[in-house]
Amino acid sequence: MSSSNVNVEDLIKSFRVGYDKAGLTIYVIPRENVTSITRDTGYAFNNEDIQLYGTRVILHLPCNGIIYGRYLTHINNELKGLFVVITENNCDISISWYEEGIDVKTHVKSNEALIIIVRLMRIKPHRIKPSSYALRIMRALGLSGRLLYSDTNNEIQVFGIEGGLIPSFQGNCMSEFIIKQWKLIFDECGFIVKVISDNDNILLIGGVNTMVIKQYYPSLDKWYELSRVTGFRNYLVVLEG
């Protein structure tokens, strides 16, 4: 089920218990509220401890029931995973996230459902500024340009090239390119010159107008779109570390 199919506000409009701390949100709601998202096959548990997929949250389940999820949803510029727990009988469920100092217990009745929402990553705008390393690379290559995208830690920086001598591109063009945890998708068949400096990678990309930047998140097993840059024919991509 895609994130657009889950309306969190509708799910929790009549919740009985609510808890929110350090990226973990818990609700106990009427079971009838989750009918639309519990039609798929879930995981049947029987008196066991379960770590929620893609998280460090552990459920201690001294009863029988089914877990549904993970459903992805965006809430307040954050990507979150939503899980649904249904029990056959009344059950005292403990939820632990030791790294965040969380260990909470809640009682779920047989006619109720437990909703667990876990923050997976923040998606919020930040002021971008080129690193001194990237600026040195541009000077060394004799290029000038404008920074179009940078992640928070400057692990990837994308510049639109405005001036300088662009090397001739040779070889076969490609519509996308994967390096480390990054995927670059082009609107046209583009050419790439790869320059390696120690553990870093510098890419010169030509012949494309628009480029989509994606990052792979192993815990989600998902490529997530970070940004889309456009308006130039040549780009410089600096990957640090």
Q: Pick the range with the lowest mean pLDDT from 71-75, 88-92, 131-135, 234-238.
A: 71-75
**Quick check: 76 and 59 in contact, CB under 8 A?**
no
Per-residue pLDDT at 197:
63
Q: How far apart are CA 196 and CA 102, in angstroms?
A: 43
On the question of pLDDT at 126 being above 70, the answer is: no
On the question of pLDDT at 50 being above 70, the answer is: yes
**Highest mean pLDDT: which range of 13-27, 47-61, 167-181:** 47-61
Neighbours of 146 (CB within 10 A): 13
203: left (phi over 0), alpha (psi -120 to 50) or beta: beta
Please name the residue that has the structure tokens 């930047």. 213
DSSP-derived secondary structure letter, 241 = -
Per-residue pLDDT at 219:
61
Q: Which of 72, 73, 71 is nearest to 85 (CA)?
A: 71
Q: How far apart are CA 91 and CA 46, in angstroms?
A: 12
The first and second tokens of residue 214, run together, are: 């994606």
The full set of domain ranges for the chain reads 3-122, 132-239
Q: How far apart are CA 24 and CA 119, in angstroms?
A: 6
Q: What is the per-residue burial (b if ≥16 Cβ within 10 Å, else e) of 209-227?
A: eebbbbbeeeebeebeebb
The string of pLDDT tens digits covering residues 166-225 is 777 777 899 999 998 899 999 999 999 887 666 668 999 998 999 999 988 776 677 877
The first and second tokens of residue 151, run together, are: 């992640």
